Structures are given as structure tokens and as C-alpha cells.
Amino acid sequence: MDPLDALMKAAVDAIIIIDHAGTVKRFNPAAERMFGYTEAEITGRNVSLLMPDHHREQHDGYIQRYLQTGQAAIIGKGREEMGRRREGDLFPMALSVGRIEGEGTPYFVGIIKDLTDYQAAKAQVRQLEEQLLHADRLVILGELTAGIAHEINQPLTAIAAYADAGRKMVSQTSGAHSDELQTVCARISEQSRRAGEVVQRLRRLVRSGAVAKGRHDLNQIVTNTLLLFEYELKRTNITLEFKPMKSLDPLYVDEIQVQQILVNLVKNSLDALLESGREDGRILIDVSTRGQQVMISVTDNGPGVPEALQARLFDSFFTTKPKGVGLGLSICKNIAGAHGGNLVYRPAENGGSRFILSLPLEMIG
């Protein structure tokens, strides 16, 4: 067999060879599957058939300009383009074009990967990230508002009670302006309550981003969450390992919120490992059960949390990160609590940090 034929046949990617006029000369089986034309059908026709309309008209021009000026837009490089299947639907593809030198006019070879699945997966991750970001913002906003509502409510309560006490006391005396003073006290009291209501309204508004629990496979939640870190991990030497637990019943949880906890924990580990500059950074996530609880532990081989700071780890507004707000772990603990579970810190044997998230296994009814 001719080696070129063998290569064309074996290639997983679509390979198309055209001449300088854009006429298809070769069209391999992968290309047949991708575009829906057979090699026999398309050989001799213009390759622009495989492009969206707006490219079609210009394609011949591209080749001519290249041949005349030597200025390459795509040849010798690759880029993402849209392809067009026989049925007319467009799909994203990675296209690289090379020039084949020979006698006379050059030929060009295009190698094409279908990006449909890849882009769908990317879009899914992006959507997940957006959801998490949104959930994060909602929770932070909720936490802040609840904190402020409480802090403002305290003095308002005192003001209203002082005013009520004042009014009562004035009503028991018969001095000058007794009536007016009573009215003044009543107004103070009214207005402080009004302020209290404004704070409560704000709080209710923020709270409406409520928990949405459902049945979810925990292993799946973890796997999906780890997708978010793929890119970040590729840039570092840190390895992330997940040991799922077989035959685990679905949990009754808010998927986004559990993901949020995991994202926070993994992100903390990543930050700690990057800061420590370790060459062999490792993050291990494993799932196990203990009684009616499922335990998800996130362990790293970083420097761990200094003992002096461990007690304050989950406090609101406590942070050791230069740009941190100090709400991450406190929110995570709250979420775990809202699920009937908990989040605790247990130093790992190797001196690294270990966070253990526990969630109830069964909440029937």
C-alpha cells in the first residue's frame, strides 16, 4: 500500500488535500465521517463547499493572494474555524493548513479536528463557573447583610426601648412640655423601628436566593468540580487525585453549594501549595462513610495551618491571604451546617492541611 494512502486511512483527524485553485484532490475517511461527503463525491469540487457561506466566496481570493504576495493568513499555522457539513449545519473545528511543495503549483493540506464536543464541554464548565460565582456572590451578600442587619438592629432596639422608657417616665410627671416630650419620644421610637424595617426588607430580599436541594451523586459533584481546576493544574506541578467511593447512595444536597465548598477547599490547598513553592505538591480528595455521615476529605502536603490560627479558621473576616476577604471558610461551614453536616480542620499526618466535610447520608422526608 502507498504510505500516503495508509496515512490518510489511519488518521483520526480529517485530512483534505487541495490544489492551488482550491479543488479537492484527496479526502480521507475521517473527513468523510466529519463532513458527510464521500471522497469520490467531493474530489474535483471546490473546498469552499465545506465552509460557511461568508467564507465560501472569499476562499479562492485567499489562496490567490497568498500565492501572489506570500502573505499567509492561515497557512503554516492553525486556527479555529467553522466547518459546514453536508446537511448544511455548521460546527467548530480546529484547522491547520500546510503547504505541500512539489513541481509546478503548490498543493495544500488541511488537517481538521471537530471541536463540537470540546466546546460543549468548555461551555458547560464556563456555565458551572458562572453559577458558582453567582452562588458565591449571593452567599457573601447574604452573609454581609445578615451581619449588618444584626449590628444595626442592636442599637435600634436600644434606641426604641430608651425612647419608650422616656415616654413612660415623662407621662408620669406633669412638668412643662410633658405632652410634647412624650410625642418626641414616640417619634424617636417610631423612626428607629422604621429603620429596623428597612434593614429587614433588605435582608429578606437577599435571602430569596434560597437553597435548592435535590438528589445528587456525590462522586459526580466532585468530578464536575475538579473540572474547574484542570486549567490551573496544567500550569503547575501540582497533582490532584480523587478517590471516589463506589456504590454511594445519592445525597440530598444543594449541588451548587456543595461544589462551592469543594472549590473553596481545593483553591485553598492550591494557594498554599503554590505559595510554599513545593515541587511535588499533591492534593487528595477522598470520600468515605462513617455511620450515617459521608466524609469528604481534602488533604494536601503543603505547610498546613499553624496551630495558633486553627481556632480562628472558620471565623468571618479572618484571613491570611493578602487579598482575602475571610469569608470563604466561614460560609463553607455555614453551608455544611445548613445541610445538617459540618466542616472541620484536622491536620494531616504529613504536616499538610486536611479539611473534612461531613454530610448526612440519608435525609428521608
Partner 1 sequence: MGKEHNVCIIDDDEAIREALRLLLFADGLNGVAFESAEHFLAEGTETFFDCMLLDIRMPGIDGLELFQEINRQALPYPVIFITGHGDIPLAVSAIKQGAFDFLTKPFEDGELLAKVRHAIAHYAAECEERRRLHQIQARIDACTPREKDVLRLMTRGLTNKSIAETLDISPRTVEIHRAHVMEKMEAESLPALVRMVASAEQG
The residue ranges that bind partner 1 (CB under 8 A) are: 146, 149-150, 153-162, 164-166, 168-169, 172, 186, 189-190, 192-193, 196, 200, 203
Q: Which is nearer to partner 1, 79 or 168 (by Cβ)? A: 168
Q: Which is nearer to partner 1, 112 or 163 (by Cβ)? A: 163
Smallest distance, partner 1 to C-beta of residue 207, A:
8
Smallest distance, partner 1 to C-beta of residue 178, A:
14
- C-alpha span between 293 and 150 (Å, rounded): 33
| Cell matching residue 130 | 458562572
**What count of Cα atoms within 13 Å lies in the side-chain half-sphere of residue 355?**
24
Smallest distance, partner 1 to C-beta of residue 155, A:
6
Q: Which is nearer to partner 1, 164 or 232 (by Cβ)? A: 164
Residue 106's φ and ψ, nearest 5 degrees, are -75, 160
- C-alpha span between 159 and 174 (Å, rounded): 24
Q: Which is nearer to partner 1, 109 or 159 (by Cβ)? A: 159
Smallest distance, partner 1 to C-beta of residue 150, A:
6
DSSP state letters, 150-182: HHHHHHHHHHHHHHHHHHHHHHT---TTHHHHH
Give the Cβ contact number of residue 247 at 10 Å.
4
Q: Which is nearer to partner 1, 147 or 351 (by Cβ)? A: 147
Smallest distance, partner 1 to C-beta of residue 137, A:
19
